[in-house]
Structure 1
Amino acid sequence: MANIDDIVKTRFTSDKHRFITNMIYTANWIQNQFVDFLKPFGISPQQFNVLRILRGAKEEWVTMNDIKSLMIDKAPNATRLSDKLLDKDYVKRKRSESDRRIVYLSITTKGLALLKEIDEHEEMSSIDRFNGISEEEAKLCSEIIDRLRDSY
């Protein structure tokens, strides 16, 4: 198993410094793995996130502002993301009749089919990579990460 000290070739000033560096490095590593996983499907992680938000929405149409607020990666380019998804026929878009500034998105049948295809592969490529971590360890790590965000 690779140790963060060996990977970044540095001496840390404290275990907290090691922990933060390890978190950032590992988050980027996981993100890069996910980018590679999505490449054959022709979408980015941000586009995937938008499709998942739309699939899980209680309403058929979701405002762009609501989508932006729910995104994991708070991309400022949500309009460009939606344009790409629209071009691929994964979403539909419409404007509010009462306020033309409000834009709505809805997932299409083609978008749902893509997510279904990804879901069938996702368990094999993503979750299985974490089989070396018990449910208890995953819960503890998640609690630590939550506390880290709460401290700001």
Structure 2
Amino acid sequence: MGDIAKDIKSSFKSDKLKALINLKYTANWLNSKENEFFKPYGISPQQYNILRILRGAKKQVKVQVVKDRMIERAPNATRLMDKLCDKNLIERTRCEHDRRVVYVQISEQGLALLTNIDKNKNLSFLEKLTDLEALMLSDLLDKIR
């Protein structure tokens, strides 16, 4: 099992400070793992998030809805969607009545990619947690926010 004090060769003035540093360190570690995981699929974690949102919507939605639902609020969400369109993973449609409004929906190719990603169980680090520990961790993170 990891130990943040040993990993970063540091001591902490309080357990709360240690928890904060550990949370930030772990978030960075998870981001790195996430980037590694999605690289073979040719998408970024943020693009995966957009595809996941669109799959859940089950219909075309406004671009702004996608932006509002993103886990990581990306100021470059439009550019991310442009790249997904270029890869034929999503489809974009302008509103007939208001050209400023743009709708997006996941394509069949995008759904197929997500199905392929869903089959990949390469998240072994999550297996270190029991279901109860995962629930407790989620509850603690909710409490912090």
How high is the TM-score relative to the length of structure 2? 0.96
2:144 and 2:137 map into 1 onto residues whose CA distance is 11
Q: How does 1:124-135 map to 2 (within 5 A)?
A: 124-126=121-123, 128-135=124-131
1:110 and 1:130 map into 2 onto residues whose CA distance is 28
Partner of 1:139: 135
Q: How does 1:37-76 map to 2 (within 5 A)?
A: 37-58=37-58, 60-76=59-75
Q: 1:22-50: CA deviations, max 9, x gaps?
A: 11111111111011011011000000000
Cα RMSD after superposing both structures? 1.0
Look up the SS of the partner of 1:105 in the other structure: strand
Partner of 1:7: 7
2:42 and 2:127 map into 1 onto residues whose CA distance is 27
How high is the TM-score relative to the length of structure 1? 0.91
The yes-or-no answer on 1:105 pairing with 2:104 is yes
> What residue ranges of structure 1 are gaps of 5+ in the alignment?
none
Sequence identity percentage: 47
Give the superposition deviation at 1:137.
1.2
Residue type of the alignment partner of 1:146: D
Residue type of the alignment partner of 1:125: N
Give the superposition deviation at 1:15.
0.3
* Structure 1 residue ranges, 4+ long, deviating more than 4 angstroms after superposition: none
1:117 and 1:139 map into 2 onto residues whose CA distance is 27
Q: How many residues align?
A: 145
Residue type of the alignment partner of 2:134: A
1:104 and 1:113 map into 2 onto residues whose CA distance is 21
Look up the SS of the partner of 1:51 in the other structure: helix
2:114 and 2:129 map into 1 onto residues whose CA distance is 26
Q: 1:78-133: CA deviations, max 9, x gaps?
A: 11001100000001101112222111101111111111111111xx211x322221
Partner of 1:88: 87
Residue type of the alignment partner of 1:112: L
Partner of 1:21: 21
1:78 and 1:130 map into 2 onto residues whose CA distance is 28
Give the superposition deviation at 1:72.
0.7
2:100 and 2:11 map into 1 onto residues whose CA distance is 52
1:35 and 1:80 map into 2 onto residues whose CA distance is 18
